[in-house]
């Protein structure tokens, strides 16, 4: 058997009433089912491939030989072929042209070809993505790359910002203690009122610090969501803003201590009625209204929050 142009023989061996195909290791008790089997694509491909790669087999008795000459000499003397044995009950001969087999093989080849082309396309897409990412990796370090990614996806992590970049910030109490107040701050209270005067003192102290050294940061300007560092730890300020209000009270006390300096600037000059009224006005605006205390404190906190609002897009 030289080529796919030759007829492919399918042998039916009767084994206890069954029809057996040794090419596919298939058996059936029904002759009609067996005939259907030998017309299947699987059988045709197995037969064509086995012809090319297997030993030379006698279609009458299934004996195998290593070369074609041996099989030819055997067939001349084969008892089954000469009617001496009844093992073979029937032989189906199917005419399979090379075009039929090639068509089946080509179908499989096309399927694998499509799979291969799909993989190549996906590979190109992945290489393009990597190519686009390379400049970004080259221009930024790992930290910047992470922060850029989180910012772009609107997933700025306030806790990471505070505990990494602001880990050396002052405690709020230490910040208040460090404030240097002047007599001018008292006069500003009389000029601008308690809320604006206290806000200016607080904000001036914050502006004098590096952003990452500040003890207060705001993550949400609409809700005045504040984070305060106290006792060497960052925590979100509660709704009552206790830490911030305590800080305002401490600044107010430091400011009032400057009243002695204001009065003692001219110790030899008698205090007239106008000057006395001026001092009382300064004192009143430096203390604030007890009746409007909560409202005034909340206004001061809102002013401070605007100053310390974190720029999530540009903060690195």
Q: Does 178 share its domain with 61?
A: no
162 within some domain: yes
Q: Does 298 share its domain with 175?
A: yes
Q: Does 16 share its domain with 64?
A: yes
Q: Does 125 share its domain with 258?
A: no
- Can you give the residue range of the structural domain that contains 125? 102-139
| Residue-wise pLDDT tens digits, 256-279 | 888 888 777 666 555 566 777 887
Q: Quick count: other Cβ atoms within 10 Å of Cβ 133?
A: 11
Q: Does 263 share its domain with 135?
A: no
Q: Does 126 share its domain with 174?
A: no
Q: Does 164 share its domain with 291?
A: yes
145 within some domain: no
User: Residues 122, 126, 128, CA angle at the centre, nearest 5°?
Assistant: 115
Q: Does 165 share its domain with 132?
A: no
How many separate domains does the chain show?
A: 3
Q: Does 297 share its domain with 166?
A: yes
| Residue-wise pLDDT tens digits, 137-157 | 444 444 444 444 444 445 678
313 within some domain: no
Q: Quick count: other Cβ atoms within 10 Å of Cβ 65?
A: 16
191 within some domain: yes
Q: Does 301 share its domain with 212?
A: yes
Report pLDDT for 36: 78
Average pLDDT over residues 221-233: 93
Contact in structure between 9 and 93 (CB atoms under 8 Å): yes
């Amino acid at each position: 058997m030289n080529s796919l142009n030759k007829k492919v023989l399918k042998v039916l061996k009767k084994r206890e009433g069954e029809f057996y195909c040794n090419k596919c290791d298939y058996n059936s008790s029904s002759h009609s089912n067996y005939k259907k089997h030998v017309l299947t694509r699987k059988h045709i491909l197995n037969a064509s491939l086995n012809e090319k790669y297997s030993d030379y087999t006698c279609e009458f008795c299934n004996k195998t030989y290593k070369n074609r000459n041996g099989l030819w000499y055997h067939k001349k003397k084969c008892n089954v072929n000469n009617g001496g044995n009844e093992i073979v009950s029937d032989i189906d001969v199917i005419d399979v042209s090379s075009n039929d087999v090639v068509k089946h093989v080509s179908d499989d080849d096309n399927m694998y070809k499509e799979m291969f082309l799909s993989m190549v396309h996906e590979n190109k897409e992945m290489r393009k993505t990597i190519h686009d990412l390379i400049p970004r990796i080259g221009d930024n370090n790992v930290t910047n790359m992470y922060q850029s990614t989180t910012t772009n996806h609107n997933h700025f992590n306030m806790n990471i910002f505070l505990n990494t970049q602001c880990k050396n910030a002052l405690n709020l109490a230490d910040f208040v203690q460090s404030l240097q107040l002047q007599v001018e701050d008292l006069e500003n209270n009389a000029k601008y009122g308690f809320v604006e005067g206290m806000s200016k003192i607080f904000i001036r102290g914050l502006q004098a610090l590096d952003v990452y050294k500040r003890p207060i940061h705001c993550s949400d300007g609409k809700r005045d969501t504040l984070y305060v560092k106290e006792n060497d730890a960052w925590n979100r300020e509660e709704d009552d803003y206790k830490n911030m209000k305590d800080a305002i009270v401490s600044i107010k006390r430091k400011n009032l201590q400057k009243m002695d300096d204001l009065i003692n600037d001219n110790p030899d000059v008698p205090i007239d009625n106008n000057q006395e009224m001026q001092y009382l006005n300064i004192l009143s605006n430096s203390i604030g209204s007890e009746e409007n205390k909560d409202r005034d404190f909340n206004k001061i906190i809102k002013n401070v929050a605007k100053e310390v609002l974190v720029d999530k897009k540009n903060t690195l």
